[in-house]
Structure 1
Amino acid sequence: MTARVLVVDDIPANRKLLDARLSAEYFEVATASDGFEALDVCARAQCDIVLLDVMMPGMDGFEVCRRLKTDPKTHHIPVIIVTALDQPSDRIRGLEAGADDFLTKPVVDVALFARVRSLARLKMLGDELRLRAQTTREIGLTDALMEAVNDPGLGGRVLLVDDRENSWRRISAALASSQTVDVETSPQEALFRAAEGEYDVVVVSLGLEGFDALRLCAQLRSLERTRMTPVVLVASPDDNARVLRGLEVGVNDYVIRPLDPAELTARIRTQVRRQRYTAQLRSNLQASMELAITDGLTGLHNRRYMEMHLQSLLDQAAARQRPLSTLVVDIDFFKSVNDTHGHDAGDDVLREFSRRLKASVRGIDLACRLGGEEFVVIMPETDGAVAQIVAERIRSKVAEAPFVTSGGRAAIDVTVSVGVASFLGADDASTLLKRADLALYRAKASGRNRVVADAA
């Protein structure tokens, strides 16, 4: 895979060297000579990943990284700090500023390319979520996302997979002040535990006895419930080849023994932050999808959703030669409810009717609010005779008890009229709905509070 890489360094020779090395590996490369230029390029969404020097005039790399990671528009862009600084305190400072990795010059090409590919792949996986979630920001769902951007990465749930007691005790102790750590010594059980535990991070030791830790990492990536869970490897200094292979199979990060507790803590906090940010994007996306297909007042599917799915249900019924029926339900004299009791009471009636409607149909039936006081129920695997029984059940369920409105201050008698039409094998969606609607018209014309089936 390729990616657009921004190289930020105030020394032209360093920029040219990284440009040549990355271009040879078919990455697209852009360059910036200072932090201000880098922030501008990132704000215009012109890169997938940033390789950032630290020692620059005007604004050092740590500050550039901090600004990128605290801005919701650039928070998602991975940052690798590439610098001659080699002290543990420098590395930790970079990670705490939000960097996704910290590489010390001179950087080995293979390690650099593997890390760039890994982080670019992770970013691209999240880009679709992020772009779709922009809709939710436009309708006001911003607070939770901002909280995720500013999350300190504390209090996460970490699953540690390590079968050496002296090792897992050290790691647990290092993380205890910032995270909740569960230890699993059996790699065979770790996959099930990770899938069931809703962990923020899974930490896997590469030195598992008699078991390939990378196979576990690959399995975590293959399961739907753990596909997006960050995975961090704990490796020995001679495990470079396996670490690079781990990055290829989807590992998010790694730490090398002997472990620096502060660095380990910083890296895990980074992964916890990323997990929460991604989870919030998914939550916002789900919310936007629900808003797009759900009626906000009643909680039923809306007309748009019905129109999207009715024809496909008819196609399935035709292909399998199976029955399908449709009900069109209308609340009788609903305008008088609004006129007499007010629109708030009318809304109470619509909500309570929807509750009774859902209680009268099966889980596979599609109940939708068509608009106003009109509703549609699509019933797969249901012939006309059974559909009439269900329609009568809905009618009687509505009529059996008054609707309590206005916080209990009023009780309104409500009835409904129902039109029933069954799929004849050649109907399209509009034809079927029109036949059910004509049956509803006859029900209302003949006195309301009754069920009428289409005569076709």
Structure 2
Amino acid sequence: MPGRILIADPTATNRIILKVRLGAARYETIQASGGTEAMAEARAERPDLVILSAQLGDIGATDLCSRLKNDPLTRAIPVLIIGSDSNRADRLAGLRAGADDYLIKPVDEMTLLAIVRHLMRTRATYDEFARRRETNAALGFAEAGAGFDRPAKVALIAPSPETSLAWRRGLAPIGSFTLIGLTRSSALDTDTLGDAPDAFVIAADLHSPGDGLRLVSELRSHPATRYAVILIQNEADDIASVPLALDLGASAVVPGQFDGEEVQARLEALIARKRETDALRESLDQQLGLAVRDPLTGLFNRRYAEAYLTRIADEAARTGQPFAVMMLDLDRFKTVNDTFGHRVGDEVLIETARRLTDNLREIDLVARHGGEEFLVALPETGIAAARATAERLRRVIADMPMRSTSRAIDVPVTVSIGVSVCYGHDMATEMSVLIDQADTALYASKSEGRNLVTLSDQPAA
């Protein structure tokens, strides 16, 4: 299952309709008929997303959202509120209470699923950093001190200077941001931009329909703006543009005419979440340093990987989701060293690390386990997906020779892979056993001729 979603609505018909829509997209659903029940379910089940009706009855959706966001057990769960009318005051109250998005009925199915996908991705990224922070704590690394939060820098990219000025006037009286106006081209020119903006507010249609959306993917591909908040102002209220914008990497889409208070509420929530994940990312980098990083490849080392696997296993035990472990070993690597020298061997290891990292999800872990052996951990991954991922990694190593810049030669390399999958309902299996199973499968790949993927015939748990 892609994830679990809690649906809270007092009307059974509404819950059933949402369950059918989400079930068709392979989401698992939990249902609650009121706010009190929803709060209890959220604390007990820790779903990946909560969808609230704006009219809950016993507890208002705004109040429930605030409770969810202030409870340590549920604060990281994204919340989507669905209202029955376009009451601006209710929408603003929901967003200010911490709702990650707010939709008005009737809800377009493609828009709903796009928002669900987006919020699931956001949650997965946050959970990944949280797991790594817990791993660091288990390894004895101190938490980094809190930094000073300067006013967020928000760039406005509008169809015209007049519109940009109107947006600034709408935000300035109520906001605590540093506002700048940019054009499409200047937004991408980070050499002259100085510090990159924390957030962008971009018109969906700049000089031609949809060109604001194309800018989203360009900003996401640039290192300086990869993690920025990107808010799309969809003044044409084009339903079709919402899924596209979110799938391209927009943080949220604001429908209708520019509303300074709504944009302000959304920016405050999104920038707060960005700063939290930025702080986690920077804290991890500062804490880890060389202590748990392999100095040659920059990958995590064996010590960190095995501690991190314990965090993945704990999460799997809670959610019931499977996870996979791979052991990868470069074939005949000693021959590479003996034939071309250790410097070329080091280049092969560095390039292998890069290819593996580039072909895995952000939530996955790749580590150097020792010598020419690598470990990969795949949260929320069953047998079929693990096999497909292993085959993809095998091909990205084997299909293109490794380029040695020191010798100006191409070095053909292959990799053997062993895979073990663990199902989280029963975590009696020790991590060392799971790794041993993957290791045994790896050596089966070696003995069968190398450049192969083998799945363990003893699934864990």
Identify whether the pair has TM-score above 0.5, normalized to the shorter chain.
Answer: yes
Whole-Å separation in 2 of the counterparts to 1:127 and 1:279: 13
Which secondary structure state, in structure 2, belongs to the residue aligned with residue 197 of structure 1? coil
Whole-Å separation in 1 of the counterparts to 2:343 and 2:220: 41
Whole-Å separation in 1 of the counterparts to 2:207 and 2:112: 29
Amino acid aligned to 1:235: N
1:178 Cα deviation after fit: 2.0
Whole-Å separation in 2 of the counterparts to 1:284 and 1:142: 7
Which secondary structure state, in structure 2, belongs to the residue aligned with residue 5 of structure 1? strand
> Using a 3 Å threshold, how does the CA distance of structure 1 residues 136 and 59 change in structure 2: closer, same or farther?
farther
Contact 2:46 2:77 in 1 (8 A): no
> Using a 3 Å threshold, how does the CA distance of structure 1 residues 182 and 30 change in structure 2: closer, same or farther?
same
Q: Does 1:126 align with 2:146?
A: no
Q: Does 1:16 align with 2:16?
A: yes
Which secondary structure state, in structure 2, belongs to the residue aligned with residue 7 of structure 1? strand
Aligned counterparts, 1:360-371, within 5 A? none
Whole-Å separation in 2 of the counterparts to 1:137 and 1:245: 39
TM-score (norm 1): 0.60
Whole-Å separation in 2 of the counterparts to 1:47 and 1:284: 27
1:50 Cα deviation after fit: 1.0
- The residue number in structure 1 matching 2:283 is 284
Q: Does 1:173 align with 2:148?
A: no
Structure 1 stretches lacking a partner, 5+ long: 295-301, 306-311, 325-380, 382-456
Whole-Å separation in 1 of the counterparts to 2:141 and 2:8: 35
Whole-Å separation in 1 of the counterparts to 2:145 and 2:50: 26
Whole-Å separation in 1 of the counterparts to 2:105 and 2:261: 21
1:175 Cα deviation after fit: 2.4
Q: 2:204 aligns with which of 195, 199, 206?
A: 206
Contact 2:8 2:56 in 1 (8 A): no
Whole-Å separation in 2 of the counterparts to 1:285 and 1:132: 7
Whole-Å separation in 1 of the counterparts to 2:18 and 2:159: 40
1:278 Cα deviation after fit: 1.0
Contact 1:162 1:168 in 2 (8 A): yes
Which secondary structure state, in structure 1, belongs to the residue aligned with residue 289 of structure 2? helix
> Using a 3 Å threshold, how does the CA distance of structure 1 residues 62 and 315 change in structure 2: closer, same or farther?
farther
Contact 1:160 1:202 in 2 (8 A): yes
- The residue number in structure 2 matching 1:184 is 182
- The residue number in structure 1 matching 2:262 is 263
Whole-Å separation in 1 of the counterparts to 2:30 and 2:126: 22
Cα displacement string for residues 59-117 of structure 1 (whole angstroms, at most 9, x for unaligned residues): 22112211222234422221111122431111000000000111122222222112111
Whole-Å separation in 1 of the counterparts to 2:250 and 2:265: 17
- The residue number in structure 2 matching 1:246 is 245
1:45 Cα deviation after fit: 5.3
Contact 1:6 1:32 in 2 (8 A): yes
Q: 1:164 aligns with which of 146, 154, 160?
A: 160
> Using a 3 Å threshold, how does the CA distance of structure 1 residues 109 and 49 change in structure 2: closer, same or farther?
same
Amino acid aligned to 1:178: S
Whole-Å separation in 1 of the counterparts to 2:73 and 2:141: 16
> Using a 3 Å threshold, how does the CA distance of structure 1 residues 41 and 197 change in structure 2: closer, same or farther?
farther
1:6 Cα deviation after fit: 1.1
- The residue number in structure 2 matching 1:90 is 90
Cα displacement string for residues 272-308 of structure 1 (whole angstroms, at most 9, x for unaligned residues): 11111111221232244238439xxxxxxx9979xxx
1:157 Cα deviation after fit: 1.1
- The residue number in structure 2 matching 1:236 is 235
Structure 2 stretches lacking a partner, 5+ long: 294-300, 305-329, 345-405, 407-461
- The residue number in structure 2 matching 1:70 is 70
> Using a 3 Å threshold, how does the CA distance of structure 1 residues 315 and 91 change in structure 2: closer, same or farther?
farther
Which secondary structure state, in structure 2, belongs to the residue aligned with residue 181 of structure 1? strand
- The residue number in structure 1 matching 2:38 is 38
Amino acid aligned to 2:217: A
> Using a 3 Å threshold, how does the CA distance of structure 1 residues 278 and 33 change in structure 2: closer, same or farther?
same
TM-score (norm 2): 0.59
Which secondary structure state, in structure 2, belongs to the residue aligned with residue 227 of structure 1? coil
Contact 2:245 2:253 in 1 (8 A): no
Contact 1:79 1:99 in 2 (8 A): yes
> Using a 3 Å threshold, how does the CA distance of structure 1 residues 41 and 166 change in structure 2: closer, same or farther?
same
1:156 Cα deviation after fit: 1.4
Whole-Å separation in 2 of the counterparts to 1:87 and 1:304: 54
- The residue number in structure 2 matching 1:424 is none
1:54 Cα deviation after fit: 2.8
- The residue number in structure 2 matching 1:27 is 27
Which secondary structure state, in structure 1, belongs to the residue aligned with residue 163 of structure 2? helix
1:142 Cα deviation after fit: 6.2
1:162 Cα deviation after fit: 2.1
Whole-Å separation in 2 of the counterparts to 1:304 and 1:115: 38
Cα displacement string for residues 309-335 of structure 1 (whole angstroms, at most 9, x for unaligned residues): xxx9999865642579xxxxxxxxxxx
Q: How large is the RMSD of aligned CA atoms in angstroms?
A: 3.4
> Using a 3 Å threshold, how does the CA distance of structure 1 residues 315 and 255 change in structure 2: closer, same or farther?
farther
Whole-Å separation in 2 of the counterparts to 1:279 and 1:129: 10
Whole-Å separation in 2 of the counterparts to 1:73 and 1:283: 24
Determine which structure has more spread, i.e. the larger CA radius of gyration.
1
Contact 1:161 1:184 in 2 (8 A): yes
Contact 1:119 1:252 in 2 (8 A): no
> Using a 3 Å threshold, how does the CA distance of structure 1 residues 323 and 102 change in structure 2: closer, same or farther?
closer
Amino acid aligned to 2:266: R
Whole-Å separation in 2 of the counterparts to 1:193 and 1:73: 39
- The residue number in structure 2 matching 1:321 is 341
Whole-Å separation in 1 of the counterparts to 2:27 and 2:275: 29
Whole-Å separation in 2 of the counterparts to 1:7 and 1:303: 41
Contact 2:62 2:94 in 1 (8 A): yes
1:208 Cα deviation after fit: 1.3
Report % sequence identity: 32
